[in-house]
Amino acid sequence: MGYGGPEGWGAGWWAPPPPPPPKPGVIPLAPLGLEAVFGGVFATLRRYAKPLFGSALAAYAALTVLLAGLVALAYASVKDQLDAIYVPDAHVEWDDVRPILTAFGVVWAVGGLAALAVSAFVQASCAATLREAVLGRRTTVRAVARHALSRTPAVLGVMLLMALIVLVPMALIFAGGIAFFFGVMATGSGPALAIVPVFLLLPLTMPLAIWLYVLFGFAPAAAVLESAGPVTAMRRSARLVRGAWWRIFGITLLGALMVLVASLVVQMPLMFAAPAAAPYSPADPSPTLSDVLPHMGAYLVLSMLVNLLVQLLTAVFLPLITTLLYVDQRIRKEGLATSLAAAAARPPSA
């Protein structure tokens, strides 16, 4: 008699397992699990460190120099006013404060716009680098920067639209709460009852902002990898995220927590290295801001460098996770793996 075993345990049970999916680059060309996503991120950081960090470091270094120059110019223009209000028990007038607010307000506005543009460029450079990393192709800082610069306006448009979409509902919710606050106060019901709905609206704003952030989180990657405009990229993101919001949110949250822990590990020694304040003696003249800044100079430079390192890590790590999740969703929903395998088999264009 034959020894076939139970049903389903015949010849088919001894069939060899299917071959693994192709892996020309940092990820297998198949639906990605959690390990494959973070493995792809760390492999990209390791193998493509030069183009990835080179373009980002150049952008943030330029931003740091710009901000330092703006702050120096602002300080030089209002040095006398700053020294005047820094003196203890000084009589401060509006004419002393107004130039300071104007000068540093301009620095804040220009620096904010420059930081937004740099963030858009870094996100575009991450997507451009990961495109080559998935295909297993070499690339250079110049090639990544060139492609990223061409798509930075689209990514910047996405960021502005996302900010508008997120902020408008939150502003409306707060406006409704404030209107209710003043309405209740006008009736004489008391401030305690009036302020309750304002606090009740706070838990509604954060979930809404997080939901919108995840829903449109793939838009920068679509703007770079599909050469899509801002509106088209946001539509593509919403279509790809649909049905997988919780999975994308969970992986993104885990990546954010990893960045937070790494940032704390880097910044904690700096907190303990802060110089102690000079002892105060009533007999000594009160120090001015010009006297304090040289004493803090080395610490301020070190703090700026550490913050630049943390900013660089945050700006690169999270977009890589988002872009890999974008690739994963396209593999799952659109069969992108076949196109990627064919593209990896072709020689790169000159």
- Mean pLDDT of the residues in the chain: 80
Does 164 have pLDDT greater than 60?
yes
Does 242 have pLDDT greater than 90?
yes
Does 21 have pLDDT greater than 80?
yes
What does the buried/exposed string (b/e) look like for 241-268 if buried means 16 or more CB atoms within 10 Å of the residue's CB? beebeeebbebbeebeebbeeebeeeee
207 burial via Cβ count (<10 Å: 0-12, 13-18, 19+) = exposed
283 burial via Cβ count (<10 Å: 0-12, 13-18, 19+) = exposed
Question: Could you tell me which residues come within 8 angstroms of residue 259 by beta carbon, excluding any fewer than 6 positions away?
Answer: 313, 314, 317, 318
Does 255 have pLDDT greater than 50?
yes
pLDDT digits (tens, 9 = 90+) for 327-339: 999 999 998 988 9
Residue with tokens 């300071």: 100
**Confidence (pLDDT) at 343:** 86
Does 232 have pLDDT greater than 60?
yes
pLDDT digits (tens, 9 = 90+) for 63-86: 888 988 888 888 888 777 666 666
**Confidence (pLDDT) at 173:** 65
pLDDT (average), residues 125-130: 94
- DSSP assignment of 33-96: -HHHHHHHHHHHHHHTHHHHHHHHHHHHHHHHHHHHHHHHHHHHHTHHHHHHHHSTT----HHH
* More confident position, 137 or 194: 137
CA gap 233, 209 in Å, rounded: 19
* More confident position, 151 or 310: 151
CA gap 178, 96 in Å, rounded: 34
CA gap 181, 176 in Å, rounded: 9
SS3 content of the chain, % helix, strand, coil (to 5): 80, 0, 20
pLDDT (average), residues 202-230: 88
Q: How confident is the model at residue 234 (pLDDT cuts 50, 70, 90)?
A: very high
The residue type of 61 is: A
Does 48 have pLDDT greater than 80?
yes
Q: Which of 342, 343, 349, 333 is nearest to 31 (CA)?
A: 333
pLDDT digits (tens, 9 = 90+) for 309-327: 777 888 899 999 999 999 9
For the chain, strand residue ranges (E) read none
Interior angle at CA 334, CA 333 and CA 340, nearest 5:
125
Indicate the domain borders of the chain. Answer: 32-85+92-272+291-340
CA gap 188, 191 in Å, rounded: 8
CA 322 to chain centre: 10
